[in-house]
Amino acid sequence: MLSIQSTETKNINFLGRKRINQKPELFEAFLRERTSGTAILEIVYDAKSIYDNVKLDLKSDTSLVVDIFVLGKVVRHILPKKNLRMSEFITVNDVPDGATPRLRLKIISSDGIDTGIIYASTSKLIAFKSTIPDGANAAGQTEKSILDLKQSDDLNGCTLKVSWSANADITVMVDRSFYQQYQARPSVLRLVLYPDMMRSIAINLLAHYEELGDLDESCTAFRWLKFVEENLGLALQGDDSIYDPNNSESLLDSVEMIVEKFMATPWNGGKTLLEEALNGS
Amino acid sequence: MEVDARRFNSRGVEEFKMILGNARAGYKSNQAAKFTSDHLEAVSDIVFDDDLTEIITPSFKLNSNKKFASRLSLGQYLRSSIPDQSPVAEYENVGFWAWVTSLYFEQLLKPNSGGKTFQLWTNPRYIPEATLSKRRYYRHLCYLPYLICKSHPQGTAEFFLSLPPFQHSDIIEQLYTSDQSFTPYPGVIEVAKKLYIDPSDGSYRKNLLGRSTAGSAFRLAKVICNQWQMNYDLHVLSEEQIWDLLPKEFNGWKRLVSSQTQTDT
């Protein structure tokens, strides 16, 4: 085992395992999306820094793996070892809404003789950090994500449909075949779906302008309203509202303003949706 | 009889809850209530009520007369009947899982002596909660067998589900919930099957859940595997490698296995 060490260290336990520190400059783990029991996770990591952190040689016969734990199931993903900061998207199925995927990052032997030995790992299971816009209510209970896309087989050729229910819940449905074909490329999926989704949600919000002031805080329409007002900084109510219900042209202008602001805003990793898709993640 | 799978609408779920609530009135949460044939009839009355249920689309069939010998056969049947990508299978689909439970309700209740009344426990065994709770989701008598059969290898399903359909047990409460170091690893589970299941009748051996019993399954899951997974990659270790790693406290259980093997040959 010592042959794979880059330099001598005493920071090892009795079987030689070393601890990978949980630091953003080494790795970060994000829960990017949940859709009908499928979670899309992203690991942003720097393999060279991780190996340096535990004083192991990046070129050794080892694998850098991430084990993802969900309700008694473990999914393993081998991370490419490259000398640069990069990200990997991982799709995990059967993840109910209430379940939080957690991970352990490990450097394991890929040498036949030492198969089954862990050379280094994070010490505890680490929860993926959710970047899905979802509110925590006053009681601190997490509510259902507003970006809970429902897969559907019944959209008549459309990729996406947004509906507003009687109790002011906004449901976003996506074509199942389309979603499943592109779910391994989430940045492309987001780029294709989200502008239309945001446009439809904006239309729905403004079409219900008279009701906005009375929305119940638990409904998704209220949380989308807050998302537009707080995350995009565009007021839809009051004196500063971008929308004038007495001006028939205002609806289209306001909707486009919301979509353009949404698309110009950096989200994951400080990138706009277009930048993220072009960068090939 | 093959029937279209349905789900309760919100009124149907409330109706089902009311029947269970009436039967449980006056019982503490850790006591089994007495469920009578009248209660069973009330459940039968709502299973196909068009005002309280709706057929799932895209549709699939379930056999309403199907009898299950174990939780394993129930899980395997649901796994094979529910289409792979069907969103109805999510835990939070309360109406669906409550309806499946109602379809097979008599088999999900332990008969009292005499067989005329049954034991009814609290709702999480029969009706999912609106949002999955990590502390309770595994109590649902239909969802858990389905989930295990869907997400785990056959051996894992056999280890956890070799019980009658109505039997929620400490095997689940104590062992299945060891979801970091025990449940996910097929090699560990195969060793546990060898050590703790009597192959002559498929029953669990005595004292496997003893907290202070040397070499118990409780200690394997909660103590030994927790230590192992710090240093060993349990994901890739084979059953034989794990068997060899077992410390001395497991020797008594190992002897049980070898004596059983000799008897069989």
Cβ neighbours around B51 below 10 Å, total:
10
Cis peptide before A133 (omega within 30 of 0): no
B236 touches chain A (CB under 8 A): yes
Q: Is A17 on the interface with B (CB under 8 A)?
A: yes
The answer, for A243 touching chain B at a CB cutoff of 8 Å, is: no
Boundaries of domain holding A261: 150-278
A140 part of a folded domain: no
Look at residue A145 and tell me if it is in a domain: no
Contacts of A74 in chain B (CB under 8 A): 184-185, 235
The better pLDDT of the pair B106, A137 is held by B106
Indicate yes or no: CB of B233 within 8 angstroms of CB of A15. no
Average pLDDT over residues B216-243: 91
- Top pLDDT among B250 and A14 is at B250
Q: Which residue of B has its CA nearest to A75?
A: B184
Q: Which two tokens stand for residue B136?
A: 């309770």
Q: Which pair of tokens denotes residue A205?
A: 């919000």
User: Does B144 map to a domain?
Assistant: yes
- Based on the structure, what is the number of domains in chain B? 2
CATH of the domain at A99: 2.60.40
Contact B95, B152 (CB under 8 A): no
In a domain, A98, yes or no: yes
- Do A31 and A43 form a contact (C-beta atoms < 8 A)? no
Tell me the Cα Rg of chain A. 23
**Domain count for chain A:** 2
In Å, how far is B180's CA from the nearest CA of chain A? 7
Q: In whole angstroms, what is the distance from residue A16 CA to residue A149 CA?
A: 45
Which residues on A lie below 8 Å from B135 (Cβ)?
A: none
Specify whether B77 is located in the same domain as B176. Answer: no
What the block records as the tokens of B157 is 């399903």
pLDDT of B82 > 80? The answer is: yes
- Say if B225 falls within a structural domain: yes
In B130-189, the residues whose Cβ lies within 8 Å of chain A are 131-134, 137, 147-148, 150-152, 176-177, 179-180, 183-185
Q: What is the pLDDT of residues B162-189, one digit of tens each?
A: 999 999 988 898 888 877 789 999 999 9
Amino acid B240: pLDDT: 94
- Flag whether B159 is in a domain: no
Residue A143 lies in a domain: no
ipTM of the complex model: 0.82
Residues A158 and A234 in one domain: yes
Taking residue A188's Cβ as centre, other Cβ atoms within 10 Å add up to: 17
Q: Are residues A171 and A206 in the same domain?
A: yes
Contact B87 A150 (CB under 8 A): yes
Integer Cα distance of B174 and B196 in angstroms: 14
Q: A175 and A120 in one domain?
A: no
* Number of CB pairs, chain A paired with chain B, less than 8 A apart: 86
* CA–CA min distance B230, chain A (Å): 8
- Tell me if B82 sits within 8 A of B60, measured CB to CB: yes
Please tell me if residue B92 touches chain A, with a CB cutoff of 8 Å. Answer: yes
Work out the mean pLDDT of chain B and round it to a whole number: 92
A36 touches chain B (CB under 8 A): yes
For testing contact with chain B, the best of A15, A64, A71 (most B CBs within 10 A): A71
Per-residue pLDDT of chain A (281 residues; tens, 9 = 90+): 334 444 444 344 445 678 898 888 999 999 888 877 788 999 999 999 999 999 999 999 899 999 999 988 899 999 999 888 999 999 998 887 778 889 999 999 887 777 788 999 987 788 888 777 654 333 333 445 667 788 877 788 899 999 888 778 888 988 888 887 887 788 888 899 999 999 999 999 999 888 888 777 778 888 899 889 888 889 898 878 899 888 878 899 999 999 999 999 988 767 888 988 887 54
Spatial neighbors of A158 by CB under 8 A, at least 6 apart, are A175
* Residue B20 belongs to some domain of the structure: yes
* Residue A90: count of CB within 10 angstroms of its CB: 22
Q: Tell me if A107 sits within 8 A of A119, measured CB to CB.
A: yes
Q: A112: Cβ–Cβ under 8 A, 6 or more apart, which residues?
A: none
